[in-house]
Copies of this chain bind each other. A is one copy, B any other.
Amino acid sequence: MSINRLNAFKGQFGLEMESLRVDSNGRLSSTDHTKYFKEDNSFISRDFSESQIEMITPPCSTVNEALDFLVNIKNVVLTSIGDELLWPQSNPPILPDESEILIANYSDSDKKDYREYLALKYGRKKSVLSGIHFNLSFSDSYINDLNNNDCESRIEFQNRLYLQVAKYFMKYRWFFIRLTAAGPVFHSSFSDRCVQLVGHDYKENCISEGMQSLRNSLCGYRNNEFLTYDYSSLSNYKKSISTHIDNGVLINESEVYEAVRIKTDDDGNAKYLELRFIDLNPELEHGVNLEDLKFLHMMFVYFSTLEDFEFDESSQIEAEFKSIIANDGTSWKQDDEYNVYDFEAEANDLIKNLENVLAESDIEYYDYSAIIKNIEYRLTPGFGYADKILKGVSTNDYITYHLDKAKEAKKRALMNPYNFYGNESLELSTKILLKSAIKMGVQFKIMDERENFVFLENRTTGQSHFVKQATKTNLDRYGSVLAMENKNVTKYILSKDGINVPKGYAFTSIKDALSAFEDSRNDRLTVIKPNNTNFGIGITILKEPYSRDEYTKAIEFAFEHDDTVLVEEFHSGKEYRFLVIDGEVIGVLNREAANVIGNGKSTIGELIESKNLDPLRGRGYVTPLEVIDMDVILIDYLSKQGLTLDSIPAEKERIYLRENSNISTGGDSIDFTDDVHISYKNKAIRAVSAIGANICGVDMIIQDIEAPADDENHTIIELNFNPAIHIHCYPYIGKNRYAGDKILQALFRGIV
C-alpha cells in the first residue's frame, strides 16, 4: 500500500522534554520550582524532582511546529531561572546524596506519594534521568481513508491501528533507541550500583564501552523486572497492565516504563502514541533534532501501511533482548560469537522499505531522501550521536563538556530573548506577549500570524481573549480606541477633564486657518504643522510678535503636506512615552535621536559600527532597536555640524547623528520609569482614565522630570491605543519592564 494521501502525514504532534536545573558548577539546583513558575503552568511543569523541569508543548499540527514550540518554552525557561542553567543531557549532572534530591513538592498529595514510591523503588538518582517524549496521532480523515473498505467500526479500527503501530515501534525499538541515543557517559555521582558496574576515570567520567544510552540501558529508566503484555487487542493490552497492577508489580499505568505508550481517552480508546526513548542530546542546539522527529513520523505513518502482526511473548522477549544488545553492545554489526542478529542489515532493510513506500507516493510531504541519507550516515559506526559526545567528553570531562553546552544555550536565549521560533514574522510585541503566556501558562493559538492576532485562553477557568498586536484587547472599549485615534477628539476629552493639552486648533481649509490669525497668538511659541507628520516636514515655529504674513506663509507651507493643519502652542521639553496598563504606569521612556559617545580615539564611523554590534539592534523591526545606517542623510546631518564619519569625538562627547528621535532610524530608547516624578505618572493615569482606556501609550512633553507637575510644565500631546511594548522590555538603557506579563495579568486578572 502506498502513501498517496497527504492526510497520512496530518495529525497532531507534541513534545515533552525533561531537563534538570543546575547551578553554574553543574550541581543539581536546590531552589524551588515555584520560585520561577506557577504550579499549574501547563507548559512548564516539574517531573520527579523539584529541580526537574518538564517542558510540554500543546498538540501542534506539524512536527516542526511542535519543536519550535518546545524551543520557545525552553528559551522562556532559560530567561526566567536567574543564573541557573538547564542540564542538556539525559544523564544527570553532579548529584547530591540520594536523600538530598528534593522530590517535586506538589500541593497534590497523590502526586507526591507516587514520587515517594518511585524514590523507594527505583532510587532518586535514577528517577532524575531525563528524556524527550514525542506524541503523534493520525488525522481523523486519514483513519477514515484507511478504514474505507472495512467492516470494522471506526473506533475499533482506530484502536487496532494505534496498537499495530505501537507494536512495530516496540519491535524495532532497538533501532530507534540506537538512532537517538545520546547518553554514553555519566557522572560518578550517579547511582552507586551503576557506577560500580562501570567504574569511573580520574575525571569522574563513567563510560561503559559501547553503551549508547544509559537511560535506555539496564542501568536506566526501566521497570525492575522485565514485563510482557498481551498485544492481541487494545483491551487485552490494557487488561494485561491491570493484571500487573493487581499483582503488585506496578502501582499504576504510569509505571509502565516501555519505549512506547498507547495513550487513550476517557473511554479507553487509543488517541495517540507516545514515543519515550529519545535522549536529551547536548550536541543538538535544541536537545533534539527536527530531522529525527520527521524520520520517526515517517516511520509512524509507514507502520500504519503495513500488515498487522502478532507480537506475542517470545517476540517481546526477543525485541527486549535486541534493544539491550544493540544499544549496550560495542558494535552495530554483531559478528562475534553472539552473532544472532545482523543489526546493520536489518536497519538497512527497514530504511529501504520505508524509502520505497515513500518513493511510490505521489505526494512528498517531507524531503525524505535528505532525511534518510542523514540517518544512514549516523548509523555508520563512529558517526552516531553517542560517538560525538564521547569525543567531546574525551577532551574535557563530563561535567565541563555539558556545562559549556548549557552555558551556550543560556547565552543564545539571553541574546535573543524576543525571538519566537516558528513565527518569526510576528511583531516583537506579540512575540513578547506569547513568551509571557508561556511563562505564565496561558494557552494560546495564533489565529492570524500576518495580523498578529492571537487567541489566549486560561484552560482552568475557561476565560479567553482575542488579542491583536499585543495591545489591542477586550480591555479597551471601541469608542475609546476611536477617540484616541483622532487627535482632535483626544484633545477635546482631555481638556474637558482639566488635563494639560497644547491649546490650539485644527483646520481643514487655508481660509479657516488664516482667519484664526488672532486666535493663534499665545504666551508661548506657536507651532503650525500638518496633522500627520513624522519627520518634522511642513512644520513652522513662530515667535511673538509675528506678522500676519509670516503666519500665512506657515499655514500655506503646512497645507502643502496635509489636508488638516494644526495651529498649536509650542511646548519645549523632552517627550516621554508613558505606558499605562490597567491603571498603572508600567514604563516611562524617552526616545533619543541616533547618537554616539566619543572615547577620544575612535572615529564617528567606528563608534557607529561598534554601537551597531549590540544584539538589540537589527534591521526591519525584528529587534527592539535598529542599526544606525551611515546613509546620505546621516552624513549630511554630520556635515551641518562640521563633522564627517572620520571625525574623532572627544571622550564622553555625544554626537547626534540624526534630527529625529525615531527608533526606526537608529534612535535610542532610554528608560526613565524610576526617575520621573510621581506626579507625571498620575497625570498619565488620569489622562488614560479620562478617555476610558486600559492599555495606552501617553506621549507627554515634560520640562524637567524631577520637578513636580504643575499647570505649565508639561503637556500631553497624544494618546496611543496600540503602544509598542517591546521598547519597554528591551530599552537601550534601562530595565525590562515586563509589559507582556502585565497585559496578561490585566487580561486574566487574579488568575495568572
Contacts and interface: CB of A to CB of B under 8 A. Distances in A.
Copies in the complex: 2
Interface string A100-111: 000000000000
Contacts of A479: 465-468, 472-476
Given A488-B447, A489-B466, A7 B482 contact: no
A518 B477 contact: no
A483 interface: yes
Interface stretch (A268-276, A448-456, A726-734): A448-456
Most buried by B among A5, A466, A478: A478
A482 B453 contact: yes
Given A6-B515, A466-B489, A486-B453, A476 B473 contact: no
Contacts of A5: 518
Nearest to A474: B479
A480 B488 contact: no
Interface string A509-531: 00000010011000000000000
B141 A474 contact: no
A488 B6 contact: no
A480 B480 CA distance: 14
A692 interface: yes
A248 B142 CA distance: 99
A486 to B, nearest CB: 6
A482 B455 contact: no
Contact of A474 (B450, B474, B477): B477
Given A474-B480, A478-B481, A486 B518 contact: no
Contacts of A481: 478
A473 B476 CA distance: 11
A141 B450 CA distance: 52
Contact of A453 (B468, B477, B489): B489
A467 B486 CA distance: 12
Contact of A518 (B6, B447, B508): B6
Nearest to A481: B478
Contacts of A468: 479, 482
Contacts of A473: 478-479
Nearest to A508: B450
Contacts of A493: 466
Nearest to A514: B6
Contacts of A489: 447-448, 453, 455, 466
A447 to B, nearest CB: 5
Most buried by B among A468, A475, A479, A721: A479
Interface string A467-508: 110001111111111110010110011000000000000001
B474 A478 contact: yes
A721 B468 CA distance: 16
A488 B451 CA distance: 12
A466 B482 contact: yes
A5 B474 CA distance: 50
24 contacts: A6-B515, A7-B518, A7-B519, A141-B519, A363-B515, A447-B488, A447-B492, A448-B486, A450-B508, A451-B486, A453-B486, A453-B489, A465-B479, A466-B480, A466-B482, A466-B489, A468-B479, A472-B479, A473-B478, A474-B477, A474-B479, A475-B478, A475-B479, A476-B479
Given A447-B486, A466-B479, 5 more contacts: A5-B518, A451-B486, A455-B489, A475-B478, A476-B479
The 4 lowest CB-CB distance pairs between A and B, nearest first, are A474-B479, A474-B477, A466-B479, A476-B478
